[in-house]
Amino acid sequence: MKIIMLGAPGAGKGTQAKMIADKFGIPHISTGDIFRANIKEGTELGKKAKEYMDQGALVPDELTCDLVVDRIKQDDCSKGYILDGFPRTIPQAECLTKALADMDDKIDYAINVDVPDENIVRRMSGRRACVGCGATYHIVYNPTKTEGICDRCGKELILRDDDKPETVQKRLTVYHEQTQPLIDYYKEKGALAEVDGTQDMQDVFNGIVKILEG
C-alpha cells in the first residue's frame, strides 16, 4: 500500500499520516525526516542537500526525489509506506512516477484531506505555543486550564509568527499555486481519493481507512 498525503498546510494530513502508519504497520515518511537522517549519517545525498540548506536555498526537485526513492527502497517499506510532504510540485510528482515505474511500481492512493482556506486560517490562528517547554494548544479545540498559561510548565503561551493569519494566508497562496495541481495530476492517474477534513479528527481517519480497505 503506497500512499501520498495531500492537503493544505494545517489540514491535519501529518496527524492522519501517523495514524494510518500505526494502523497498517507501514512507515510514515516525511521529507524533513529524510533530510535530517541523511545529513546526520553524512551520506552523499545528505551532503548535497546540506549544501543547499546551509545557503537557505530549496533542495532541487531531482535531489529531493533521489532521497525519497532511496528511502522507499529500504526493507521496512516492503509492505508499503505513506509519504507526507512529498511530492509538493508537479516536477517532483513526475520524477517519483518515473522512478517507481522503473521499479515496476506505482502509487496506490493520493489522499487529499480537503479543508477550505477560511477553516485553516481559523484553525491555525487559534494555535498557541509555550515559550518554556514548546507544548502546543488551541484556544478552541485544546485550551489550557488557565488562559494563556501552559498546563505543563506554567510559562506563557504565544501565537507563533507561522500561525498568524497573514502568514497562513501566504502559505495557502503558495500551496494553491504549487501543490494544488497535484490533485488534478493524481486524479488523471486514477489514484486520487478525497476526504472531508473539516470533520472531527477520528471521523477523518475512519473515512481514510474506509477508502484504503475499500
Candidates 71, 123, 127, 128; catalytic one: 127
Candidates 23, 36, 152, 160; catalytic one: 160
pLDDT confidence of residue 102 = 95
Q: Is residue 13 among the annotated active site residues?
A: yes
Give yes or no for a contact between 31 and 68, defined as CB atoms under 8 angstroms apart.
yes
| The one-letter amino acid at 187 | K
Q: Is residue 71 among the annotated active site residues?
A: no
- pLDDT per residue rounded down to tens, the chain (214 residues): 999 999 998 899 989 999 999 999 999 999 888 988 999 999 999 999 999 888 888 889 999 999 999 999 999 999 999 999 899 999 999 999 999 999 999 999 999 999 999 999 998 999 999 999 999 999 998 999 999 999 999 999 999 998 999 999 998 998 899 889 999 999 999 999 999 999 999 999 999 999 999 8
| 25-49 core/surface letters (b: 16 or more CB in 10 A; e: else) | ebbbbbbeebbeebbeeeeebbebb
Domains in the chain, ordered, with CATH?
A: 2-116+178-213 (3.40.50.300)
| The one-letter amino acid at 181 | P
pLDDT confidence of residue 178 = 85
DSSP the chain: -EEEEE--TTSSHHHHHHHHHHHHT--EEEHHHHHHHHHHHT-HHHHHHHHHHHTTPPPPHHHHHHHHHHHHTSGGGTT-EEEES---SHHHHHHHHHHHHHTT----EEEEEE--HHHHHHHHHTEEEETTT--EEETTTB--SSTTB-TTT--BEE--GGGSHHHHHHHHHHHHHHTTHHHHHHHHTT-EEEEETTS-HHHHHHHHHHHHH-
Q: Is residue 127 among the annotated active site residues?
A: yes
Candidates 2, 71, 88, 123; catalytic one: 88
Candidates 2, 13, 123, 128; catalytic one: 13
Q: Is residue 171 among the annotated active site residues?
A: yes
pLDDT confidence of residue 132 = 95
Q: Is residue 122 among the annotated active site residues?
A: no
